[in-house]
Structure 1
Amino acid sequence: MPDFSASLNQNLLQGLTAFSLRPALHDQNETLTFAQLADRVASCSHRLRLRGVNKGDRVALQLRNSQQAVILMLSALMIGAIPVPILPSYREKELLHILQMTQPKVLALYRSSRRYSPMASLQSFEQQGIHVDIVLVEDLEDQKRQTRYLNLQQFCSPMETPPAQHLEPMSSDDTAMMLLSSGTTGLPKAIARKNGGYTYMIQCGCDIFGLNSQSVYFAVMPVSHGFVINCPGILGTLSRGGAVVLADQPTAAHALNEVARCGVTHTTLVPALLAQWAEVQQTAPRAIDSLWHVQVGGARVAPELAASASATLGIKLQQCYGMSEGLLCFNAIDEVDSIRFQSQGKPLSPEDEVRIVDDRGQPVAIGQSGELITRGPYTITGYFQNPKADLAAFTPEGFYRTGDLAHVDAEGNVYIDGRVNDSINRGGEKFSPNEIEELALHHPDIQHVACVGAADALYGEVACLFVVTDRQDITLGELRRYLAEQGLASFKIPEKLILLEAIPMKGIGKIDRLTLRAMVAETSSDIADVVTGRE
């Protein structure tokens, strides 16, 4: 059986204190040593405790890639509070649902932009009866007028005399982190990751990713994403005494400049970013010899891209597959290229159970495709306070239904073949078409609507909207603006529109998505064009 005696906050505190003078955190503004980071974490932890934040309280953070996001997450973990990381791309609809579901005591929000104001959304929620005790706002201006909110930067700054770090004892069954599902079946579900299994997963991930005190990990994707937080990501790197580099939505050119400047050794990418990095490096090479180990996941990477990008970037590519609910699969560091470029790897732990089953739940033969179901030492056995979701997501034997079609070879390598259901996977961000359809139907000029995934060279898949309307001049831009105004997250907004006389159906009221996907595949227009299906 796995050893669950270690605790995540203990491992992190050991990392913070063992390498005091070495760089720990680079962002665009400054570099913090481990000693400086430890002082900020101790100060922030102290401020949380002074305001009544205790073990088990939720600390929600919707922040961009900044040192404050890392400091607040670590501070919560130290005192046994539960971080709830929220993607910055989520808007009013998702944010309201998450606050209602997790009921955080603390909420940290990024600064408003021209397009979206998290503070305005929160103020609207408060009028609906949603209450959060402590609200931290990034770059809060004129705090004297905003007495309800606190300045995040000040809250995460070091005290003049930093206190000793309080470390809350954690059992293996205590919740360490509350991740959010990707919303493939609708709005996100809360995933309470237990301290014992979660810590074990991160430490196993550090071993297979080759992290140590000399590593420099680049968090180029959102720090609110589990892939970046714990696979093994930021938490794994810091626990091993390695440094973390933060960049907020960088271009490929800027990201490669940061790799060269900071001596990045490890990073995590989705296939779209891998392709962009390889293209930029091929046309304008940077000195990135330090970069050697790159995880790629979130969506299947084409074998051709895996091979060409590995050669162009000079990296050891490691495909990985997993989910916020648990199971992680990785290629080994010394895996041969013929497997590395094709397979998504083997389960992280020898205790992981993986089965490939048909639609009746019966195991299929080796090499045959079916739904991947799993259980293991760090995979959840139920969602947070959501028994209805549990009935659909878990078998009577306790296996988690991933919803992914896969097959396994004789050596146990996993190959992902697609999705069992109809979710759309845009560059690693998975979402359900049902939510888009429901919002689009509120448009006054739309009679019927359907949404499916359309193949895309950059993101792998994007949302394609089929619409029945009497308006022949309706445009994709108009519908995109409308859905954005309804609070739909930017990555979910359709990038292709097809007008039809009628939506094909099958059975009783079920959209025939197979027919719609075939129609998309036959379409040769640019992704932003409107294609009419009328003859």
Structure 2
Amino acid sequence: MHGFVPFPADRANAYRTAGYWQDRPLSSLLDDAAARWPDRKAVIDADTTLTYTQLDSAADRAAAGLHRLGVGAGDRVLLQLPNSCAFAVTLFGLLRVGAIPVLCLPGHRAAEIGHLAAVSDAIGIVIPDATAGFDYPAMVDELGLRRLIIDDAAGDQPAPRCAPDPNTPALLLVSGGTTGLPKLIPRTHNDYVYNATASAALCELTADDVYLVALPAAHNFPLACPGLLGAMSVGAATVFGTDPSPEAAFATIARHRVTATALVPALATLWAQACDWEPQKPTTLRLLQVGGAKLAAGDARRIRDVLTPGLQQVFGMAEGLLCYTRPGDAPELLDTTQGRPLCADDEVRVVDEDGAEAPEGELLVRGPYTINGYYNAAEANERSFSPDGFYRSGDRVRRLPGGYLEVTGRIKDVIVRGGENIAADELEAHLLDHPAIRSAAAVGLPDEYLGEKVCAAIIFHDNPLTLAELNRHLDECGVATHVRVDQLAALPALPTTAVGKVDKKAIARQVSS
């Protein structure tokens, strides 16, 4: 497949021999679940509940509809649906015809969608009509994309089942955008089945669990860590939530007796705070995963005290490596570390600026579920992968006894706002498109609720903009909804380092004083 960097043959054989890879398509997770637990609830949203048999049939009808539209093996299709049973149905419909879903976030707008369509050479996109006031069809028309409206009415001809090579991409995830526009992450059938099933086993999921998708389902975290796919592998039910606020989420947890979910730190701390005033405090949660950014030790203790003792810190990336604290870990590990690797054959290096092994430095990794290259991104791959195939994560970590890691910062210039990565250079480029702006620097500042908030330090030509005008400009640029400025600092000059680079640490000190 052009643009895809496969696993080297020697490592692929080793992973297969070790039992990590099962040579089965990702769609087989639903096949197996429907055979083993036909009458158990599979997916639930505000309007629909489907058993595994019903989900299996709905996915077949969706596959038939896609087949009638000419969608087939190897075709890339953008999938931009909100959390819903329709997301699961469409995902498996695409997989069953052998198409490769490109999992876009609901908050992506024209800038990201146009870029992802071009990089993937997508033949079309599946979107909702209008959600939260945004007109998705108008965006698609503006971009000139083909909208795939899937007629899932039962037809005479079911879609032929595709038997994909398990060493090829099952789907394309979207990177957090640490440098420029997001990149595409090709996850193979073999590595993603392992990702989901091994995570489910580590988290001790069973058919009696109920998993809540509180974050956008297209994210790797709620999709396969263990998420929807891991829950499916053990016959558990998955509830799709559309409002992660404590009031709405607590009611959903109570209604469906949710036992497990995944949150970013900002949401987890908000849920813990809400226990002081929300009457419907969760009582059924046995596992609360927190990841996407570093969780402060004090917040971790409070979460364990008021929400559930079953806190699990998760540190990972859509590119592969997952680190988890384990059930039964000592409180100090739960509160202060971001876990240890999922797999015994995850190869981890921590290196200094010269590439030498160090107790603290940049994390490099390769293993049975870590990619070997971004899709269609030769230039990025030169920067992001070592000659011997280790992925350069851009995360600064400290190695601790027992293989545990503590995340201490970032190597790359990225702001983690509410669990979403924002590439500073991408945001700065959009800001500089405004004629009133001479220079701009995007800086992350600590924030109690978002983890980090975005501060834009700007030199204006003549007439300064307001914060609202600045964000209106970003909206008009078609930038994802999470790429927004929280604080505006109009400065006469941007401080620089001794070598002439913008000194963002100095800006942070200046605007915080």
TM (normalized to structure 1)?
A: 0.89
Conserved 8 A contact 1:10-1:167? no
Number of the residue aligned with 2:286 = 292
Tell me by how many angstroms 1:397 deviates: 1.5
Tell me by how many angstroms 1:121 deviates: 2.0
The structure 2 residue matched to 1:110, chosen from 116, 128, 133, is 128
- Equivalent residues in 2 for 1:69-218 (5 A)? 69-112=87-130, 116-126=134-144, 131-132=145-146, 135-136=147-148, 150=149, 155=151, 157=152, 159=154, 167-218=161-212
The structure 1 residue matched to 2:232, chosen from 213, 223, 238, is 238
**Secondary structure of the structure 1 residue equivalent to 2:27:** helix
Q: Distance in 1 between matches of 2:214 and 2:159?
A: 29
Tell me by how many angstroms 1:379 deviates: 0.6
Number of the residue aligned with 1:362 = 356
Conserved 8 A contact 2:42-2:51? yes
1:71 aligned partner, one-letter code: V
Q: Does 1:457 align with 2:457?
A: no
Tell me by how many angstroms 1:223 deviates: 0.9
Conserved 8 A contact 1:454-1:520? no
Q: Distance in 1 between matches of 2:326 and 2:164?
A: 31
Number of the residue aligned with 2:510 = 519
Number of the residue aligned with 1:143 = none
The structure 1 residue matched to 2:218, chosen from 214, 221, 224, is 224
1:37 aligned partner, one-letter code: L
Number of the residue aligned with 2:339 = 345
Number of the residue aligned with 1:422 = 413
Conserved 8 A contact 2:215-2:244? no
TM (normalized to structure 2)?
A: 0.92
Number of the residue aligned with 1:532 = none
Q: Does 1:307 align with 2:301?
A: yes
Deviations 1:51-94 (A, max 9, x none): 22222211211111111111100111223221111011111111
The structure 1 residue matched to 2:270, chosen from 271, 276, 287, is 276
Number of the residue aligned with 1:475 = 466
Q: Distance in 1 between matches of 2:430 and 2:136?
A: 20
**Secondary structure of the structure 1 residue equivalent to 2:268:** helix
Unaligned runs of 5+ in 1: 137-149, 523-535
The structure 2 residue matched to 1:22, chosen from 14, 32, 40, is 40
Range with bigger deviation, 83-92 or 473-482:
473-482
Conserved 8 A contact 1:220-1:247? yes
Tell me by how many angstroms 1:446 deviates: 1.6
1:392 aligned partner, one-letter code: R
**Secondary structure of the structure 2 residue equivalent to 1:510:** coil
Q: Distance in 2 between matches of 1:113 and 1:44?
A: 21
Measured at CA, do residues 355 and 471 of structure 1 come closer, stay the same or move farther in structure 2, by a change above 3 Å? same
Number of the residue aligned with 1:5 = 22
Range with bigger deviation, 174-183 or 47-56:
47-56
Q: Distance in 2 between matches of 1:273 and 1:395?
A: 35
- Equivalent residues in 2 for 1:324-473 (5 A)? 324-364=318-358, 368-471=359-462
**Secondary structure of the structure 2 residue equivalent to 1:506:** coil
Conserved 8 A contact 2:214-2:261? yes
**Secondary structure of the structure 2 residue equivalent to 1:511:** coil
Number of the residue aligned with 1:54 = 72
Q: Does 1:40 align with 2:50?
A: no
Conserved 8 A contact 2:287-2:308? no
Number of the residue aligned with 2:9 = none
**Secondary structure of the structure 1 residue equivalent to 2:134:** coil
Conserved 8 A contact 2:350-2:397? yes
Tell me by how many angstroms 1:226 deviates: 1.2
**Secondary structure of the structure 2 residue equivalent to 1:385:** coil
Q: Distance in 2 between matches of 1:456 and 1:213?
A: 38
Conserved 8 A contact 1:9-1:167? no
Tell me by how many angstroms 1:410 deviates: 1.9
Q: Distance in 2 between matches of 1:403 and 1:300?
A: 14
Deviations 1:111-145 (A, max 9, x none): 2357532222221222xxxx53xx23xxxxxxxxx
Conserved 8 A contact 2:287-2:310? yes
Deviations 1:241-265 (A, max 9, x none): 1100011134211101100100111
Q: Distance in 2 between matches of 1:92 and 1:235?
A: 29
**Secondary structure of the structure 1 residue equivalent to 2:283:** coil
Tell me by how many angstroms 1:473 deviates: 5.5
Measured at CA, do residues 448 and 260 of structure 1 come closer, stay the same or move farther in structure 2, by a change above 3 Å? same
1:5 aligned partner, one-letter code: Q
Measured at CA, do residues 287 and 428 of structure 1 come closer, stay the same or move farther in structure 2, by a change above 3 Å? closer
Conserved 8 A contact 2:120-2:376? no
RMSD: 1.9
Conserved 8 A contact 1:171-1:196? no
Measured at CA, do residues 289 and 113 of structure 1 come closer, stay the same or move farther in structure 2, by a change above 3 Å? closer
Q: Distance in 2 between matches of 1:34 and 1:491?
A: 34
Q: Distance in 1 between matches of 2:401 and 2:311?
A: 22
Measured at CA, do residues 165 and 206 of structure 1 come closer, stay the same or move farther in structure 2, by a change above 3 Å? farther
Measured at CA, do residues 59 and 315 of structure 1 come closer, stay the same or move farther in structure 2, by a change above 3 Å? farther
Tell me by how many angstroms 1:11 deviates: 2.5
Q: Distance in 2 between matches of 1:299 and 1:214?
A: 29
Conserved 8 A contact 2:30-2:52? no
Tell me by how many angstroms 1:31 deviates: 1.5
Q: Distance in 2 between matches of 1:298 and 1:439?
A: 24
Tell me by how many angstroms 1:419 deviates: 0.3
Range with bigger deviation, 116-125 or 320-329:
116-125
Q: Distance in 2 between matches of 1:50 and 1:315?
A: 50
Q: Does 1:484 align with 2:475?
A: yes
Tell me by how many angstroms 1:444 deviates: 2.3
Deviations 1:324-382 (A, max 9, x none): 11101101111111101111101000000111100011001xxx320011011111111
Number of the residue aligned with 2:12 = none
Measured at CA, do residues 164 and 216 of structure 1 come closer, stay the same or move farther in structure 2, by a change above 3 Å? farther
1:68 aligned partner, one-letter code: A
Q: How many residues end up aligned between the 2 structures?
A: 495
